[in-house]
Amino acid sequence: MFTAFGPHAFEGRVFVARPDGSDVTTVLSPQSLLGYEGAFGNSLKMFILVAATQSTGGNNSVTNIVQYFPSTGRNLPLQQQLPAEGEGNGIPSPDNSKLVAEVAPPGAPRTNLWISDFQTKQFHQLTQGTAQDFNPVWSPDGQRIAFIRLTPPTPPISLQVMTVSSQGGETIVLLGASEHVGQAAYSPDGKKLAFDSINGLETMDLTTMQRMVILTKNQLHGNPLQRITEGYGMSWAKTQDKIVLILLDLGTNRDQLWTVSSDGSNLQKIYTADIGVRIFSITFMSN
């Protein structure tokens, strides 16, 4: 599942496709002054969480996390399950019992992560401080969350890969600022992490911390393709050996989806967006 935003404001759509790029189907289309920036879920048979951006007049807009049920077409706004501040993206836990959300006070230069329980409607703050914490991903067992931390002041930009227990507690640095990591994704068994870095696309064994470059920087950033390091640009399939990436074709200025095996083989393009359209989020889902 992925979202394609643009070329004009409030034109974000949600699509699903097979891992080979076939059977592209629209799940959500934009409405009047309402578009979708991100969409995340485990199965269309359950629900997906959508970041719905709506105009509030003039050049102002608000983004809210909405629980959307594809089988019924029902929308459930989640404002009552999150603090009364600006919202970003929400990602459901592997068992669909909770969500982790990016929450930022309007106009504030910080973003913290919050956990909300769908059943109890209770929520608690997961990360603290003045940094921007974003791009959270759940470990397959739901016990930990990896995320990117952008630390002020900027410039220079300082990006770190952090992890924290989904119950809260101390945050741990997995990859430091010198690595320039913008995305990360857990393997299906939770034993490895895929991430983009100054070296290219890498995987890391979370037990031994051993790293392996599976696509070099030249392969990943070479002409005409360039890795995108904004939005949610990486996901690891839950049931097969595929990692999906968002890449930008510099020759045509068009976003593309590519898949690659975890050993770096079988790199192939599966989708190209229309001119002016940006792919903002990508996630593997089960049937």
Tell me: the pLDDT tens digits for 155-187? 667 789 999 999 999 999 999 888 888 889 999
- What was the pLDDT predicted at 277? 93
**Contact by Cβ (8 Å): 204, 254:** no
Q: What is the pLDDT of residues 61-91, one digit of tens each?
A: 788 899 999 999 999 988 888 887 778 899 9
**Contact by Cβ (8 Å): 134, 104:** no
- What was the pLDDT predicted at 151? 84
Structure token digits, residue 68: 């959307």
* SS3 state at 153: coil
Higher-pLDDT residue of 259, 9: 259
With tokens 């690595």, the residue in question is: 179
The domains of the chain are located at 2-282
- What was the pLDDT predicted at 215? 92
Homologous superfamily of domain range 2-282:
TolB, C-terminal domain (2.120.10.30)
- Give CA separation, 162 vs 27, 89, 148, 201, 210, in Å: 32, 18, 6, 18, 17
* Mean pLDDT, residues 207-233 taken together: 79
pLDDT reading at 25 higher than 80? yes
- Give CA separation, 20 vs 24, 120, 195, 220, in Å: 10, 39, 22, 20
pTM: 0.92
